[in-house]
Homo-oligomer: A and B are copies of this chain.
Amino acid sequence: MMKKSILSTLIASAIFIGLCQAQVAEDFKPSSLNQPGQEYPMVNSQGYARFKIVAPAADSVRVSLGLGGKGGTKLAKAEDGTWMGTTEGPMDEGFHYYNVKIDGGKFNDPGTLNFYGSVRWESGIEIPAKDQDFYALKNVPHGHVQQVLFPSPSTGTSRRAFVYTPAGYEKGKEKYPVLYLQHGWGEDETAWMNQGRANLIMDNLIAEGKIKPFIIVNTYGMTNEVKFGKIREFKIEPFQTVLINELIPYIDANFRTLANKDNRAMAGLSMGGMETKMITLNNPDVFSYYGLLSGGVYTPADITDKSKVKLVFLSCGSKERPDGVRKAAEELKAAGFNAVSYVSEGTAHEFQTWRRSLYQLAPMLFKK
């Protein structure tokens, strides 16, 4: 007995140690989001990220990315005076924001591109995903992404939006449906095309014949300032005015759109989901397809006139609260709505969840 027990313990310990000290595969390659010619940051086939920062006289360098609750990854000074470090474990697949703390100041990693998140331009890194093919740059016809500056009398300025037009738009005469797609808190109108790769997701879906081509419009949703943690003080009216009274008329006047409710969708991620919910419910004759991506749920009681809603799409990552999303979709279905839930496996409140959500949502839009 004693012998067996010791043996069991030894085996169990060996397995445990094996799990904890899993070999880090030394097949690191530059992240696909690095600046031209930059070797670091690197990622390996298991999803580990490795960083290298040049700051020979610094006392402390720490990267905000790493395992939860540990405050990121502390870099160590290498012999050549650079600072290096590898995340303690594999990261979730997809895009992550991060920054670098150097002697107490917050900076970006000079090795990689910047992406607007957390109300600042942050460093970005891409952990290769098993399903990365759906947002890869391929040799297919590519749509254009247009920066437009539309007049906004309510805010007294010209505001920026990005408009994805499908490949062939310029040559054709066809009119297209439109999806108004919003970013999250601290992000801006650049997020869906840069971090989200929405244009490439669309290009690939269209090239494979999986969707009817449509236009996507992104604009800035934090028209009034919202401090983090004060989301309850958020008032929808300023942004709603910009979107409904200023942007939509501009898009319908300047692009070949099917300018009616049946051909208009609104979706948003996180805070953009909250905005989507408020604006779609306030404007039942403007949109007929609704999407909340890690951005809450609708209940049957929220929606006054069921006949005006063609689709309610609810999604989140499996590391968020997938049961809430699934349950809400079931309740909507039971109440007679065309409701769909989607849970992104193995991802959290991050862009991989939202890329996959757009990939799922797009084929369901504008079916009628």
Q: Which residues of A contact B (CB under 8 A)?
A: 35-37, 53-60, 81, 102-108, 110, 113-114, 119-121, 137, 139, 142, 144-151, 157-158, 163, 170-171, 193, 199, 225, 253-256
Contacts and interface: CB of A to CB of B under 8 A. Distances in A.
Most buried by B among A37, A146, A253: A146
A145 B147 contact: yes
B142 A149 contact: yes
A149 B110 CA distance: 26
A227 B43 CA distance: 27
Given A119-B36, A121-B35, A142-B149, A103 B57 contact: yes
Given A58-B58, A103-B103, A108-B107, A146 B146 contact: yes
Contact of A102 (B105, B137, B158): B105
Given A114-B114, A144-B147, A170 B102 contact: no
A123 to B, nearest CB: 10
A19 B35 CA distance: 44
B149 A104 contact: no
A282 B37 CA distance: 30
Number of copies: 2
A122 to B, nearest CB: 10
Contacts of A57: 59-60, 103-104
B158 A103 contact: no
A139 B151 contact: yes
A193 B149 CA distance: 13
Contact of A137 (B106, B139, B149, B225): B149
Given A144-B146, A149-B137, A158-B142, A119 B56 contact: no
Contacts of A56: 103-105
A158 B56 CA distance: 39
8 contacts: A56-B104, A57-B104, A58-B104, A105-B110, A113-B121, A142-B149, A144-B163, A147-B193
A55 B105 contact: yes
Nearest to A255: B170
A193 B106 CA distance: 28
Contact of A55 (B104, B113, B147): B104
A153 to B, nearest CB: 9
Contacts of A119: 36-37
A319 B120 CA distance: 35
A225 B163 CA distance: 32
A146 to B, nearest CB: 4
A148 B166 CA distance: 11
Given A37-B119, A104-B56, A107-B108, A254 B170 contact: yes
Given A108-B110, A139-B158, 17 more contacts: A54-B106, A55-B103, A55-B104, A55-B107, A57-B104, A58-B58, A58-B105, A102-B102, A102-B107, A106-B110, A137-B149, A144-B146, A144-B254, A145-B146, A146-B146, A146-B147, A147-B193
